[in-house]
Structure 1
Amino acid sequence: MKIVVINAYVRENAGDAALLSVCLRQIRQAFPEADVRVAGMEDPSVHPAFEEAPNLGSIRRHVADGTVSLARRLVRKLWVGAIGAGLLLLPRPAAALLRRVLPAEARREADALAGADLVVSTGGAYVLARPGLDGHQNVFFVLLPVLLAQRAGVPVVFAPQSYGPFPAAAQRRLVARALGRSPLVLAREDVSVDQLRGCGLPASAIVRGVDSGFAFDPPPLSDWRARLGIGPHERLVGVTARRWLAPAAQDAYERALAETIDAVQATGARVVLIPQVSTDYLGDDDRIVERRIAAHCTGAPLLIEESVDYRDLKGVYGECALLIGTRFHSVIFSLTSGVPCVAIEYEHKTRGIMADLGLGAYVLPIAEVTHARLWALVAPLLRDDTGYREQLARRLPDYVAEAGRFPELLRAAA
């Protein structure tokens, strides 16, 4: 059996790497003898495999390759986009000939899709759009491999993920066409279910799932307290941050986090700024933001400066007594380690999943972050987190068990 996992991201994004890791493990659990390959955003010449699954590269990576000039990327998008449209619209014999003129990396993915028995679109939050041309092209290139597989008669399954927003009718029609033909579409929050229903998918076509990050549980790889230079009984509070807002609002958010870090450290706890994402791709490196935050602090927090393997990074969250988390998979990594979290929301996945766990009161939208609002959530947990931990004990086991159901659903859909 040949299986292609599409829409994978990069390993320096620890959350997305965890989702891909779980996806591969669960596919192999469902189909132990399968030949599994990955089509994602990593350059195959740099990373030829991910956890022993060969890396094909992808159409998306080729057209969005940040190592080439903007002009070349635009040409690639126009050229590959036109060929992709032809592959979907032309008669099959003509489409088979047209596929030969795709650039080598794009052709590898297209050939693998045509020869697969099953395609799995990995978990994440990438089936979405913004207004305008950029939003249209994002939806098109995300769904192009789905549509190519379906054109070849190959079933495509959507692992648990978030969907939307889709501001344009054309975007919603394309989403409905691609996902409406899938034997399994898993949405990881109610907001995403509503987004898909707004595209015209019937409720019966959508399965309410759980983020695969809740099934990510690698063994400890490091003594993080020794690495950070803190004692076994010192109270450690983690913080994750990211670039998201316009410059003035971003600066206000970073200064509010710095003021909150000072307040936490005034209680005698130590704060560590944790880079959940440390990639050069799209300039999305949390270490840059976290250095600025540390520079605003009166008392220096701990900084993790190296790019840490996603499996190793999971361990640092387990050492924390509390997490103030913007990157949502840092929140998931902490919750599954039994660590209370205050979550800063930048996409609807945050409030959706926290609400599922009965923790919606501990979510603050990123645009509304001030020290006063953040401290109002953090300070009570520093004094007494018993109620939070009891809520986790009640809700988390069933949630984790639900995340483990994907192999069963996969076998039924294949």
Structure 2
Amino acid sequence: MSESRMGRKYLIVNAFGRSNRGDSVLLDECIEQMRVVDPDATIMGILFEGISSARAAHPGVDWSERIGNSSRFSGPLGRLEQLVYLFVAWIACAIGWFGLAQVLPESQRKTLMAYRTADFVISAPGGYIHDVNLSYIIALLHIHFGTLVGAKIVLAPQSIGPIKSKLGAAMTRLVLSPCALMCVREGYSRQFLIAELGIAPEKVVVAGDSAFWNLHVTENGSEIDHLLQEIGLERGEQFVGATVVDWPFPHRTNPAEDRARYEDGLVHIFDKLYREHGLRTVIFNQVASDLDLAQRIAERSGAHVLVHKTETEPEILRAAIGRARIFIGTRFHSCIFAMMEARPLTAISYLPKTEFIMRDLGLDDLVIDIASVDRQVLSRLVAESLKEEKAVSVRVNRAVNHYRNTKMRFGEALAEVLETEKEPQLKGAVS
């Protein structure tokens, strides 16, 4: 007796949650592309936070919690709890003792059992494998669990590096080497994987940042009017859009000095725009963890800097950013939102992804490094955006269209991996 082959089972790991509007756009596009390429797919997903919001956005995905989350304790006890959960998961995946899942909280138990049945583990698009903090180790472990259970590993378009420590680089090499395919968003990541980690070049492909293909933007103008008025703008008021990032300036000699220079530079340019052009600035909320910094800058600046504090879905945030005269963005996906709406912009680069993707777009002259924010350079870039607003808008629009027409999309890369499976042996298939 035989039964028809079951559809492939995919497990998306290393997704953050919908409170980061950039990451949620990338995840939306990733899921959409997976369904286009493999319509019969069963998709499971692991989130750091916000499972209820993800279920509302993608009810067809079976969501569960990242292994290692600690809810009962904080401080040293919380870290110990996190290590215990991760170690239990590693043992279970390594030797097949999935009964150990009973040690984990219910949602993390569900996650561990999802690994057991997954044919493919897809590491979510974004940028989280870098050593700004130790969270990249947890991301690597969630990839490694997939290898241990025999799943095929694919990295959706993302940025990787820098990783300065030799131990961290060795761990990253060990985890990523078995992957079937790594899609990276820019040349820096490709160079880092091949030249610094020794990854086989045929396993690394450059694909476009998935956000450039996500065309969901609200056309409800009254909704955006209402949002901007809630933030504090007058109806129809012209304004400058911005985002900030609460950055620790890792690997720098004097991070406190760099941070002060960055904040001072933003306060200076926002004041200048108000004094010389009468334009107030709205600091948009792309990532909730940046709000404290945004509020501090607003308090230093006065009433001409407003902070968007509510959490909004990406299609609303993008439309609101599209109303700005010009955009000054540090969070890179807010810059992408601005470019998708053809807004003149200045991008402040805090990781190589910004500089290199803007270079791919042919817009690298619109970038300034966060670690060396110079008031004069920042003022010049912003002034040029205002002075040549229409010309820069046309240039940005052309750059985005060219990027979309020439870069590989994630679905194309995933389809090539599936094509190599002539007779895939799927977990749970019965013959």
Give the TM-score band, short-chain normalised: 0.7 to 0.9
Residue 325 of structure 1 is matched in structure 2 by 329
Shift in alpha-carbon separation, 1:88–1:299, aligned structure 2, 3 A = closer
Structure 1 residue runs of 5 or longer lacking an equivalent are 279-283
Residue 48 of structure 2 is matched in structure 1 by 41
In the alignment, which of 306, 311, 315 is matched to residue 315 of structure 2? 311
**In structure 1, distance between residues paired with 2:361 and 2:392:** 10
Q: Cα distance, 1:177 vs. partner?
A: 2.9
**Equivalent residues in 2 for 1:75-224, closer than 5 Å:** 75-87=80-92, 89-90=94-95, 92=96, 95-129=97-131, 135=134, 138-197=135-194, 198-220=196-218, 221-223=220-222, 224=224
Equivalent residue letter for 2:40: E
Equivalent residue letter for 1:31: D
Provide, for residues 53-96 of structure 1, a one-character-per-residue CA deviation record: whole Å limited to 9, x for no partner.
23211214x25x5x731233222233123334434554x4xx44
Contact 2:24 2:314 in 1 (8 A): yes
Shift in alpha-carbon separation, 1:10–1:403, aligned structure 2, 3 A = farther
Q: Cα distance, 1:403 vs. partner?
A: 6.0
1:56 and 2:53 correspond: no
Of the structure 1 ranges 12-21 and 222-231, higher mean CA displacement relative to structure 2 is found in 222-231
Contact 1:215 1:404 in 2 (8 A): no
Give the TM-score normalised by the residue count of structure 1. 0.87
Provide, for residues 126-164 of structure 1, a one-character-per-residue CA deviation record: whole Å limited to 9, x for no partner.
11225xxx64xx343212222222222211211100101
In the alignment, which of 284, 289, 292 is matched to residue 274 of structure 1? 284
Equivalent residue letter for 2:266: L
**In structure 2, distance between residues paired with 1:353 and 1:321:** 23
Contact 1:110 1:145 in 2 (8 A): no
Equivalent residue letter for 1:128: H
Contact 1:209 1:402 in 2 (8 A): no
Residue 259 of structure 1 is matched in structure 2 by 268
Contact 1:7 1:142 in 2 (8 A): yes
1:241 and 2:251 correspond: no
**Equivalent residues in 2 for 1:13-52, closer than 5 Å:** 13-42=20-49, 44=51, 48=55, 50-52=57-59
Shift in alpha-carbon separation, 1:231–1:101, aligned structure 2, 3 A = closer
**In structure 1, distance between residues paired with 2:326 and 2:342:** 10
Contact 2:18 2:54 in 1 (8 A): no
Q: Cα distance, 1:8 vs. partner?
A: 0.6
Q: Cα distance, 1:354 vs. partner?
A: 0.8
Residue 281 of structure 1 is matched in structure 2 by none
**In structure 1, distance between residues paired with 2:302 and 2:105:** 53
Shift in alpha-carbon separation, 1:103–1:403, aligned structure 2, 3 A = farther
Shift in alpha-carbon separation, 1:3–1:123, aligned structure 2, 3 A = same
Aligned length in residues: 397
Percent identical residues: 28
Shift in alpha-carbon separation, 1:383–1:42, aligned structure 2, 3 A = same
**In structure 2, distance between residues paired with 1:174 and 1:17:** 27
Contact 1:87 1:148 in 2 (8 A): no
**In structure 2, distance between residues paired with 1:225 and 1:21:** 25
Shift in alpha-carbon separation, 1:114–1:319, aligned structure 2, 3 A = same
**In structure 2, distance between residues paired with 1:123 and 1:112:** 20
Shift in alpha-carbon separation, 1:105–1:316, aligned structure 2, 3 A = same
Contact 2:65 2:111 in 1 (8 A): yes
Residue 68 of structure 1 is matched in structure 2 by 73
1:11 and 2:9 correspond: no
Equivalent residue letter for 1:69: S
Shift in alpha-carbon separation, 1:402–1:116, aligned structure 2, 3 A = farther
Of the structure 1 ranges 396-405 and 113-122, higher mean CA displacement relative to structure 2 is found in 396-405
Contact 2:240 2:282 in 1 (8 A): yes
**In structure 1, distance between residues paired with 2:380 and 2:28:** 36
Residue 227 of structure 2 is matched in structure 1 by 227
Provide, for residues 300-334 of structure 1, a one-character-per-residue CA deviation record: whole Å limited to 9, x for no partner.
23332322222211111111221000111110111
**In structure 2, distance between residues paired with 1:172 and 1:287:** 32
**In structure 1, distance between residues paired with 2:52 and 2:241:** 35
Q: Cα distance, 1:102 vs. partner?
A: 4.0
1:405 and 2:422 correspond: no
Equivalent residue letter for 1:78: L
Q: Cα distance, 1:344 vs. partner?
A: 0.7
Which secondary structure does the structure 2 equivalent of 1:219 belong to? coil
Provide, for residues 354-386 of structure 1, a one-character-per-residue CA deviation record: whole Å limited to 9, x for no partner.
111111111111122243221011111211135
Structure 2 residue runs of 5 or longer lacking an equivalent are 1-6, 249-254, 419-431
Contact 1:255 1:296 in 2 (8 A): no
